[in-house]
Amino acid sequence: MQIKTLKALYKTNKEKSLFGRYINTKSIEPLLENLPSIFKVDAIGKSVKGENIYSVNIGNGRKKVLIWSQMHGNEATTTKALFDVFNFLSDSNVFSDTILNSCTLIAIPILNPDGALSYTRFNANGIDLNRDAQDLLQPESIALRQSFNDFQPDYCFNLHDQRTIFSAGKTNNPATVSFLSPAQDKSCSITKNRTIAMEIIGVMNAVLQKQLPNQVGVYDDAFNINCVGDTFQSLNVPTILFEAGHYKDDYEREKTREYIFQSLLVALKFIATESINGDNCKPYFDIPKNEKTFFDIIIRNAKLKINNESFILDIGVLYEERLIGNSIEFVPVINKISDLSEYFGHKEIDANNKCVSTSNLLELKVGYENDFVLINNIEYSLKL
């Protein structure tokens, strides 16, 4: 598929009412109500706090794809991309008609409404839904599993966000998009349905590499049957994990959103038009594994006083995302003080062996949070 076409489709179909990191059920309900009649919207269950869990059904083809987003409430980039895809599918054209005539899609835009509202990974019971695939103790997990059982999908897309710490291999390249064909047994066997998922990932990666060279990664496939992807894979349904990651200066994940939109369209068209048997899975194994090599900020060569002794060290800062009112604030917090020569910063400041301290001239410690530090008594901002 031509990159120019994909970029034009994103520009045309981007849902402008959704922006930033904080997306909850109230954000999407007006959009669901206004979807064209070719979409069928259902409430497939209730959250712990009684919020509706919605599904969107579209298409009439024999190839069935189940998609869910915001299993973790603070991972909304893929939800935005889903509504961009809905806009694209609303407009009848050769591309969208090909998908809808060959595929039937069920998408759950927000599986964890309570977590989305409070901007937390967990549901209202403090449970990670991605560890509840076997016990099915939470109503949200039950709703997803019931959809899976009733729909009997041929493919599953498990949509997430990942932290800014991840790189594509041990490099200075952020993992802007990552994928995984999850394991389905403890031996991480390369099974038929895994290779089918791998083949689809390889096709998406080929498109992304033309725009994001060396910025696509794959997750470690260590097996955990309590995870939803591993469970569905173990039930012999090819399952793909999508992870929206960091793009330079894109903390609102609007650029990454575009690449998830493109990836979804590429995957759906490939499923719609091809008989996928996994024979062409080799490109998947060329994608580098995700590594944790990044901090949001690194202050290099900082002269620090620790217990009345002076050291030249590096300072690693990570942003902590906090819900303040109806928006997310990125609070800089010192995460590590050490030799960080094997790490990279999305932003780097060279202290040139000058003294670095808190705003009130105290020594810096792990856990310190503030919008700026002093370097040789000059204020340096750590804010976005």
Give per-residue pLDDT as tens, 130-169.
Answer: 999 999 999 999 999 999 999 999 999 999 999 999 999 9
Can you give the residue range of the structural domain that contains 178? 3-292
Regarding beta strands 166-168 and 290-292, do their DSSP bridges make them parallel or antiparallel, or are they unpaired?
antiparallel
Same domain, 171 and 303: no
CATH code of the domain containing 114: 3.40.630.10
By the 8 A CB rule, do 91 and 131 touch? Answer: no
Residue 1 pLDDT exceeds 80: no
List phi, psi (to 5°) of 151.
Answer: -80, -35
Of the chain, the end-to-end C-alpha distance in Å amounts to 35
Residues 46 and 159 reside in one and the same domain: yes
How does residue 14 score in pLDDT terms, banded at 50, 70 and 90?
A: very high
- Which CATH number do you get for residue 300? 2.30.40.10
Query: Taking Cα atoms as reference points, which of 257, 155, 245 lies closest to residue 201?
Result: 155
CA nearest neighbour of 346 among 167, 189, 198, 169:
167
Split at pLDDT 50, 70, 90, the class of 81 is very high
Instruction: Report the pLDDT value the prediction gives residue 48, as an integer from 0 to 100.
Output: 98
How many domains does one find in the chain?
2
Tell me, yes or no, whether 336 and 242 share the same domain: no
Are 340 and 197 part of one and the same domain?
Answer: no
Is 21 in the same domain as 49? yes
265, 292, 319 — which closes off a domain?
Answer: 292
* CA-to-CA separations, 200 to 174, 191, 247, 257, 303, in angstroms, rounded: 22, 15, 23, 19, 49
Q: How confident is the model at residue 92 (pLDDT cuts 50, 70, 90)?
A: very high
pLDDT bracket for residue 360 (50, 70, 90): confident
What pTM does this model have?
0.97
As a whole number, mean pLDDT of residues 250-268 equals 98
Query: Are residues 327 and 185 both part of a single domain?
Result: no
Q: Taking 90 as the threshold, does the pLDDT of residue 305 lie above it?
A: no
359 and 277 within one domain: no
> Above 90 in pLDDT, residue 75?
yes
Residue 361 pLDDT level (bands cut at 50, 70, 90): confident
Closest C-alpha to 149, from 64, 40, 224? 64
Those residues whose C-beta lies under 8 Å from the C-beta of residue 35, and which sit 6 or more positions away, are 41, 56, 86, 90
State what percent of residues in the chain have pLDDT above 90: 97
For 9, 220, 232, 249, 295, the CA distances from 229, given in Å and listed in that order, are: 29, 13, 5, 30, 28
Q: Do 377 and 277 have their domain in common?
A: no
Look at the alpha carbons of 173, 224, 335, 23 in this order and tell me if their dihedral is positive or negative. Answer: positive
Q: Quote the pLDDT of residue 45.
A: 98
Give the span between the Cα atoms of 45 and 139, in whole angstroms: 7
